[in-house]
Amino acid sequence: MTQPSAGQGASQADKHCTHWIGGKPWTGTASQHGEIYNPATGKVSGTVDFATAAEVDLAVQTAAAAWPAWRDTSLVRRAAVMFAFRDLVRKHTDELAALITSEHGKVASDAAGEVARGLEVVEFACGIPHLLKGSFSENVSTSVDAYSIRQPLGVVAGITPFNFPAMVPMWMFPIALAAGNAFVLKPSEKDPSTALRLAELLSEAGLPDGVFNVVNGGKEAVDSLLNHPEVKAVSFVGSTPIARYVAQTAMTAGKRVQALGGAKNHMVVLPDADLDQAADAAVSAGFGSAGERCMAISVVVAVDPVGDELIAKIKERVAKLTVGPGDLPESEMGPLVTQVHRDKVASYLDSGVADGAVLAIDGRGHPITGGSKDGFWLGPSLLDHVKPGMSCYTDEIFGPVLSVVRAASYAEAVEVINANPYGNGTAIFTNDGGAARRFVKDIEVGMVGVNVPIPVPMAFYSFGGWKASLFGDTHVHGTEGVHFYTRGKAVTARWLDPSHGGVNLGFPTNN
């Protein structure tokens, strides 16, 4: 089968994705392949090569060979490549968004927004000359100066999920590359085209061949990266069980790790909140991107007596939502990524009812506008009177299912959240500044929103949770991201003063 690049207008029937190694598509023959689906039709739209340990080793060794020259490239030159890449991504945003929609299923506006959020990290990385500034102390002892510098690690790897095929990789590689590392990306095999197109744009921006490589595949590719001796650090975003595995395996192999896991994000609604604002937030944060995002609100904690009124307002909004193919302008929510995932998410509606919850909105009956009946559809759904012991509460559903937990007080709401093993994101809706300030202090979660349902920080802050939502050293992007992809070195230097008599640096005279 031919192997047109993701950005060269390959037809859906002919789409074939392979690896990107040494600045070009891999030309070998893969022993294993995966299928790529269009979630809106349920049909296979292409295939992707799966890497064995040999292909991973080739990519890593290629990166290792390219790294020394890139490490020695000036900060200004590295920043210039990032600036050029930024401009190219902005120019090709619609194209990248279309690739995301075709393989993930999210609506076009959401896909374009994903690219824009990834670009924020690229723009942050453009400031690498400032971000890598060290410190200097003169005369710490007699004629002795001390200073610190940060240096790149070498070859680093990123393993990224299906739900954000552009944004999450761009949380990682722009900072890693700008800091002077070489990078090997293993994107999700479910939607690989976006990563390959980004590789083409990096090359067009002037990144030397071999500094950025992409390998596709499954567990063998992941394990090969985690255990490869040339890989110095691994970044990962995915479910908590896999994040724990990635962290343990990579740490055992002596690598630096940042592994972001799953989430069960709560949104507390206090009695004084603006319920229209809270309902808007619950719908957008719970059902945007079909709920397939680690910062989605999956639990609304309604503090008495607002629960019934809030749910009524949510129902009004859900009834008006247009669910359909992501490439239709009127679609507000698209399909789920695979049939297997769709069926698993839908199963929580039945298990929730069996456990005693009330199915207030059944998304299985939501109309689909303009979509094939074979698509992986599930409309927005809501389970009310959910209790913390139910599987629909304890599991990360990762789909358009919103659970409502009733709480008698602010204190009970905080207790529910802090007892949860996850600690990724949370939000509070209130008009009471004192309550909001107290919530920020009390809550045991890494990212907090006040009247903001999805508190993803800007690129110059760092993204990441607490508890079972994070394994390893640091959060991603921001200052912590720069520190993750570099290591500090302290230097103490003593230079003899010219007056010691060994050398005379004065103006030469004729005696």
User: What phi and psi, each to the nearest 5 degrees, are found at residue 292?
Assistant: -90, 65
* Cα separations in angstroms, 70 against 153, 175, 207: 12, 14, 9
**265-450 has the same fold as 15-261+469-491:** no
Q: Which long-range contacts (CB under 8 A, 24 or more apart) does 205-208 make?
A: 205/81, 205/82, 205/84, 205/85, 205/88, 206/80, 206/81, 206/84, 207/81, 207/85, 207/177, 208/23, 208/66, 208/69, 208/70, 208/73
Tokens of 309: 């009124």
Cβ within 8 Å of residue 461, ≥6 positions away:
477, 478
Decide yes or no: CATH 3.40.605.10 for domain 15-261+469-491.
Answer: yes
Which pLDDT does position 497 carry in this prediction? 74
Catalytic residue chosen out of the listed positions 17, 126, 294, 392: 294
296-331 as b/e, with b when 16 or more CB fall inside 10 Å? Answer: bbbbbbbbeebbeebbebbeebbeebbbbbbbbeeb
Tokens of 101: 């929609």
Domain spans in the chain, listed from the N-terminal domain onward: 15-261+469-491, 265-450
The DSSP annotation for 223-245 comes to HHHHH-TTEEEEEEES-HHHHHH
Which pLDDT does position 506 carry in this prediction? 59
Taking the C-alpha atoms of residue 450 and residue 427, their distance in angstroms, rounded to an integer, is: 6
What CATH topology corresponds to 265-450? Answer: Aldehyde Dehydrogenase; Chain A, domain 2 (3.40.309)
Tokens of 282: 């619950």
What stretch of H or E contains 122?
A: helix 108-125
Residue 17 annotated among the catalytic residues of the structure: no
For the chain (511 residues), the mean pLDDT of every run of 10, in chain order, is: 37 80 97 96 97 98 98 98 98 98 97 97 97 95 94 98 98 98 98 98 98 98 98 97 97 97 97 98 97 96 98 98 96 97 98 98 96 95 97 97 98 98 97 98 98 95 95 92 97 82 58 54
Which pLDDT does position 14 carry in this prediction? 75
- Flag whether the pTM goes above 0.95: no
